[in-house]
Structure 1
Amino acid sequence: MSETIRVDDLTFHVMRSERRKTVGLTVERDASLVAHLPKDADIGQVGELIRTRLVWVHQKLASHKDIGRETVFRRPEFIDGEGFHFLGKHYRLKLIDVDPAGPPTPTVRFHGDRLLFRREQVTAGDKRIAQHYTRAAHAYLNDTVNRWKTIVGVDPARYVQVMDLGFRWASCGSEGTLNFHWRIMQLPPQVIDYVAVHELSHLKVRDHSPVFWAEVARVLPTYTQHRKWLHERGGEL
């Protein structure tokens, strides 16, 4: 039976070599994951090392056709009336024309039930939305993590990181860094709380064992309904 290493929901096939001195990870063209190990490498230690590189792994996976974010997250069209979400609220896109000689106007802003977007930026729409949500996420998620960390009883890194995590909402680094996808700002606040508690709990329990879920339930007894919502509706956003 071939060796494998399971880290969260990822499975790495192990390839050992007498000539290899360090651990290497590859994401193959078919999106399979391979851990290249020295002949006598300890699987447990390698698993912890892989965990420190999960952000890189998920970003590589996201770049592969057929499994990237385009198959997990809805890709909006930048046309009048298109729907967008921010902190669980629904907004309709309205393209606006801006006078170049007029006062500075943000590319993205919310007004009432509308998301106002500068028409001349449509070709860069995905990028501009990601930038806007990323800026908003830094302050919001740092406040969220600070609110929950004492309840969970852990001491994460001082600041969260916000980036494109491919098809994951968040991840937890072994050094205590919490990483969140900028798209998390589309979720309702209570679901964001669940994701934050989930990752904070990983600072106590690294796997998804019953002990882990018991810890999540201790902190957030309603977590199952938020987890179900995320599974069923997260891809619609």
Structure 2
Amino acid sequence: MTRTAPLEQDILVLTDTDGTEIPVPVRRSARARRMLLRVDPVRGGPELVLPAGARIDAARTFATRNLGWLRARLAHLPARTSFVHGAVVPILGREHVIRHRPDQRGGVWRVEDPGGSVELHVSGAGDHLARRVTDFLKGEARRTIAPRAKLHAATLNRRVGRVTVRDTATRWGSCSSRGDLSFSWRLVLAPEEVLDYVVAHEAAHLVEMNHSDRFWALVERLMPDYSRPRAWLKRHGSKLHAYG
């Protein structure tokens, strides 16, 4: 029989039928209208969101009732890939193997062998390796996204304001009323056509700040076969948050 442990330090511990304990962080939200049990692909774990006035015993009952759903979602979370020596990281559709080179200088650089495999060499101390790889990927995202955004905007007779990259959790891209575009740097980990689709999507918002038929006609004008990368992002996008 499934049971729950008392709530301590904003953590609700659920005990599954096989004895496995699943700690579920609890967060109260003034904006929440109902209890919500979710799995955050960025953090790689569950979260229970409660309205401000929700009772803890009701939260236990709700979480326990949805334990089967939670178990299934956790089982399907993509495995995390840390930026360490030997890890394989996809960059625009090509796999790169991280190689720590503590004896070298120069930050991060690519090395491609005649057979076509690519390595990402990282100099410096080991405790700086993950940060250096992340900074490298952010730089690659900026260099890849900015010119594409300007090209798509020019096709639509629009001008782009600032183009920034961030580590966003809920959006792959956004467009402000001023024409500034912002993107998740993790798009550089996706196939190239997926990154290009998101850039085209946000460029279309420079004309239509909605998702009307007119908007999607603009996206199709910029990228006629956008349905394929759009489907890829829906199916595999959570995997991009499992790196680093």
* Smaller-chain TM-score bracket: 0.5 to 0.7
1:223 equivalent in alignment to 2:211: no
CA contact (8 A) 2:84 2:129 kept: no
Q: Which residue of 2 aligns with 1:176?
A: 179
What CA distance in whole angstroms lies between the structure 2 residues aligned with 1:91 and 1:227? 24
Q: Quote the offset at 1:141 in angstroms.
A: 1.6
- Which residue does the alignment assign to 2:103? 98
Task: Give yes or no for contact 2:150–2:159 (8 Å, CA) kept in 1.
Answer: no
1:199 deviation in Å? 0.3
Task: Measure the CA separation in 1 of the matches of 2:172 and 2:79.
Answer: 14
2:140 equivalent in structure 1: 136
The amino acid that maps onto 1:131 is D
Name the structure 2 match of 1:69: 42
Q: What are the Cα deviations for residues 80-120 of structure 1, in whole angstroms up to 9, with x where unaligned?
A: 43110112211122222326xxxx331x2221211223472
Larger-Rg structure: 2
Find out whether 1:83 has 2:84 as its counterpart: no
TM-score, length-scaled by structure 1: 0.63
| Aligned-residue offset at 1:73 | 7.7
TM-score (norm. length: structure 2) = 0.61
Change (3 A) 1:204 1:83: same
Structure 1, unmatched stretches of 5+, are 1-27, 35-64
Which amino acid counterpart does residue 220 of structure 1 have in structure 2? M
Aligned CA distance change for structure 1 residues 138 and 77 (closer, same or farther; 3 Å): closer
Instruction: Show structure 2 runs of 5+ residues with no match.
Output: 1-25, 33-37, 45-76, 113-117
1:147 to 151, 161, 169: 151
Contact map agreement 1:162 1:182 (CA 8 A) in 2: yes
2:27 to 26, 29, 38: 29
- Mapped to 2, the partners of 1:31 and 1:83 lie a distance apart of 38
Query: For the residues of structure 1 that align with 2:180 and 2:78, how far apart are their CA atoms?
Result: 24
- Partners of 1:163 and 1:84 lie apart in 2 by 19
Task: Name the CA shift for 1:73/1:31 in 2 (closer, same or farther; >3 Å).
Answer: farther
SS in 2 for 1:29: strand
Q: Does 1:156 align with 2:160?
A: yes
CA contact (8 A) 2:173 2:184 kept: yes
Identity of aligned residues (%): 27
Amino acid at match of 2:232: W
Alpha-carbon RMSD across the aligned residues, in angstroms, is: 2.8
- Residue identity matched to 2:42: R
